[in-house]
A and B are shown apart, each in its own frame.
Chain A
Amino acid sequence: MKEKKIVFNDVTLRDGMHAISHQYSVEQIAQLTQLLDEAGVDIIEATHGDGLGGSSIQYGFSKESERDIITTAVKNTKQAKIGVLLLPGIGTIHHLNNAREWGASVARVATHCTEADVSEQHIKEAVKLGMDTVGFLMMSHRVEPEQLLEEAKKMESYGAGTIYVVDSAGALTMDGVKSRVSLFKEKLNTKVGFHAHNNLSLGVANSIVAIQEGADRIDASLAGMGAGAGNASLEQLVAVMNKMDIPHSIDLYKAMDAAENAMKPMMKRPVQIDSLSLTLGYTGVYSSFLFFAERAGKEYGVDPRDILTRLAEMGAVGGQEDWIIGVAQELAKEKQTLAEVK
């Protein structure tokens, strides 16, 4: 294995926000930041699950303000850098400037895998602010590697220093990760990252494949805390990396303890593979739709798996939570019509 150290970008306090409906308190944010920092992660991302400006009726309101989330993380870290996620269309440069002022030093600008050109303004601004700037191509499974590369090249041209293959739906299998990451490594002059979701139980395996193909950065979270069936679990991935002699900066026991003693007791609902999160990965739907589909299914008396499947057929992308209720209503009507015919 190569000697370079893998950079860990922890998402417990960002993707993990989805799993707790954005309700971390500042006390919890402080505790988790300290534990992650001590465990040795390089970057701690702390924002609403949908990034800066994500607190809304559409995605759910954060318990704490954006300012409190970021400043709490900044105050409680000794060595790790604090990062923020920004989805153009939801967050703005105005939000980014605030985050920078509050002490965030990593900016990840996220777009759907075919829409990289909406990130130009934000990537350029993040570079100008002197931030470690990352392009984040969500739902990477929806396009072929060559098309994904074209979008990545746009982000590279705007100045991103690292570009991610993001498996937002946890729908990529190992070959899919391999072809995308290896192409990025071959054709881009940037660092390359990979963000997994565990919906098909491949969070750790896919991250390892990405590392073997040369990925420089990997996302993970304590106990996999994240949308859907969660992300690659930090402690599990580190254990595997240790066995494979892949260099990193994480203390395995500290990561295990943080996951076991701090993270798991905070969970409102276990982050796990169940029929619904498995359906996310199986059909390729944005992982944060999980809770919304579950609620809508209950409210309208339809199988939430049918809701997710229909959303996949419609080609819903990240951020379209408002489509879920419409689909549930539609399915309920169809069910009623069917019952009347019978």
Chain B
Amino acid sequence: MAEEKVKCAIIGSGNIGTDLMYKLLRSEKLEPTVMIGIDPNSKGLAKAKELGLLPIYNGIEGFIEHADKADIVFEATSAKAHEANAPILKELGKRAIDLTPAAVGPFMVPSVSLEMHNIEELDNVNMVTCGGQATVPIVKAISDVVDVEYAEIVASIASKSAGPGTRQNIDEFTETTAKALKDVGGAKESKAIIVLNPAEPPILMRNTIYAKISEYSQEIHNDVLESLNRMLKVVQGYVKGYHFKTDPVIKDNVVSVAVEVEGNGDFLPKYAGNLDIITSAAVRTGEVIADSLVVKGVSQ
């Protein structure tokens, strides 16, 4: 039945896991059934229980006993945890959507990658980073028109929305994002910078994208702007608060674009657009996987 929702589990009961739960509860295609954590006092697990999910307090071990309760598993823990969990999930035949920087599976930026992969063949996909979700589509929109010799992005994030995972592994953010700018965005070389800003009230997530293009003409100029506007609408299809902060500028063969991401305010405040964009992208990916599972009849 097309109406039947595909069941999913969330590993991780922190900010990301909890925000994900709220988004999944709204999904027409996915149903969150289990939240897996390791801290019995976690607020996220308490919330999950309250909202009718099965809370599991002893990590992946606990989930193995209830493996039949979900077909898709979202991992919102740490890279280390996912590296350990990934083979177990594979063994259990689950489809993993990884929101950590582990990158066990290929990068998934929904506005770009869905055309690059056959989703049915992937048992594990990686959601890059929040900065990657915000900036890779822009670089791709430009590289669709003209060669991008070098892409550089600067993500400014409110301090309050950067959790301990990001803080202890900030290199993973910059390195993973830079890699995705090449692998998915199509840039030949790349660099990513992240700046945490503690201003009060907290700033919205802001990303500046610079792309050095191989050649310039008025036609390329117009095509780049058109491509950027097209991409903006595609991303807005799953992240409502994604918008240009200033008009894109092309000067000295460098395209500069500033995008701001206002969060949906599901569980996290609106300034946490950085978390919103990655959970929104993960839900979109889950929905596409769900479509493929329903077609195959797995969930019935």
Q: Quick check: A120 and B168 within 8 Å, CB to CB?
A: yes
State which of A94, A323, A325 has its C-beta within 8 Å of the C-beta of B156.
A323
Q: Is residue B236 within 8 Å, beta carbon to beta carbon, of the partner chain?
A: no
User: For A323, what are the chain B residues with a Cβ–Cβ distance below 8 Å?
Assistant: 156, 206
Q: Quick check: B195 and A319 within 8 Å, CB to CB?
A: yes
Rounded to whole Å, the gap between the CB of B253 and the closest CB of chain A is: 11
Q: Is residue A244 within 8 Å, beta carbon to beta carbon, of the partner chain?
A: no
Q: Quick check: A320 and B254 within 8 Å, CB to CB?
A: no
Pick the interface stretch among A15-23, A34-42, A110-118, A268-276.
A110-118
Q: Quick check: A317 and B258 within 8 Å, CB to CB?
A: no
User: For A120, what are the chain B residues with a Cβ–Cβ distance below 8 Å?
Assistant: 167-168
Nearest chain A residue, comparing its CB with the CB of B166: A118
Q: Is residue B225 within 8 Å, beta carbon to beta carbon, of the partner chain?
A: no
User: For A89, what are the chain B residues with a Cβ–Cβ distance below 8 Å?
Assistant: 170, 173-174, 193-196
Instruction: List A residues 291-340 near B (Cβ within 8 Å).
Output: 314-320, 322-323, 325-326, 329
Q: Quick check: B169 and A121 within 8 Å, CB to CB?
A: yes
Given A90-B193, A117-B164, A315-B197, are A326 and B171 also a contact pair (CB < 8 Å)? no
Rounded to whole Å, the gap between the CB of B187 and the closest CB of chain A is: 12
Instruction: List B residues 187-206 near A (Cβ within 8 Å).
Output: 191, 193-200, 203, 206
Q: Quick check: B195 and A320 within 8 Å, CB to CB?
A: yes
Bitwise interface map of B from 256 to 274 toward A, beta carbon under 8 Å scored 1, else 0: 1010000000000000000
User: For A94, what are the chain B residues with a Cβ–Cβ distance below 8 Å?
Assistant: 171, 175
Nearest chain A residue, comparing its CB with the CB of B247: A329
Q: Is residue B133 within 8 Å, beta carbon to beta carbon, of the partner chain?
A: no
Q: Which of A88, A117, A322, A325 counts the most chain B CB atoms within 10 A? A: A322
Q: Is residue B71 within 8 Å, beta carbon to beta carbon, of the partner chain?
A: no
Nearest chain A residue, comparing its CB with the CB of B210: A57
State which of B164, B168, B197, B200 has its C-beta within 8 Å of the C-beta of A316.
B197
Bitwise interface map of B from 232 to 261 toward A, beta carbon under 8 Å scored 1, else 0: 000000000000011000000010101000
State which of A56, A121, A318, A320 has its C-beta within 8 Å of the C-beta of B191.
A56
**A33→B46 CA distance, assembly (Å):** 60
Q: Quick check: A317 and B169 within 8 Å, CB to CB?
A: no
Nearest chain A residue, comparing its CB with the CB of B212: A57
Given A58-B154, A92-B175, A329-B246, are A118 and B212 also a contact pair (CB < 8 Å)? no
User: For B19, what are the chain A residues with a Cβ–Cβ distance below 8 Å?
Assistant: none
User: For B156, what are the chain A residues with a Cβ–Cβ distance below 8 Å?
Assistant: 320, 322-323
User: For A326, what are the chain B residues with a Cβ–Cβ distance below 8 Å?
Assistant: 245-246, 258
Q: Quick check: B175 and A322 within 8 Å, CB to CB?
A: no
Q: Quick check: B167 and A117 within 8 Å, CB to CB?
A: yes
Q: Quick check: B171 and A121 within 8 Å, CB to CB?
A: yes
State which of A57, A58, A112 has its C-beta within 8 Å of the C-beta of B198.
A112
Q: Is residue A246 within 8 Å, beta carbon to beta carbon, of the partner chain?
A: no
Q: Quick check: A319 and B198 within 8 Å, CB to CB?
A: no
Nearest chain A residue, comparing its CB with the CB of B201: A315
Q: Which of B152, B193, B206, B246 counts the most chain A CB atoms within 10 A? A: B193
**A89→B154 CA distance, assembly (Å):** 9
Q: Quick check: B170 and A88 within 8 Å, CB to CB?
A: yes
**A326→B260 CA distance, assembly (Å):** 12
Q: Quick check: B168 and A117 within 8 Å, CB to CB?
A: yes
Nearest chain B residue, comparing its CB with the CB of A113: B198
Given A57-B254, A117-B167, A121-B168, are A317 and B174 also a contact pair (CB < 8 Å)? no
Q: Quick check: A118 and B197 within 8 Å, CB to CB?
A: no
State which of A57, A92, A314, A317 has its C-beta within 8 Å of the C-beta of B171.
A92
Q: Which residues of B are in contact with A by a Cβ distance under 8 Å?
A: 150, 152, 154, 156, 159, 164, 167-171, 173-175, 191, 193-200, 203, 206, 208, 210, 212, 245-246, 254, 256, 258
Q: Which 9 A-B pairs have the closest CB atoms?
A: A315-B199, A322-B208, A92-B171, A57-B210, A89-B194, A114-B198, A319-B195, A117-B167, A88-B170
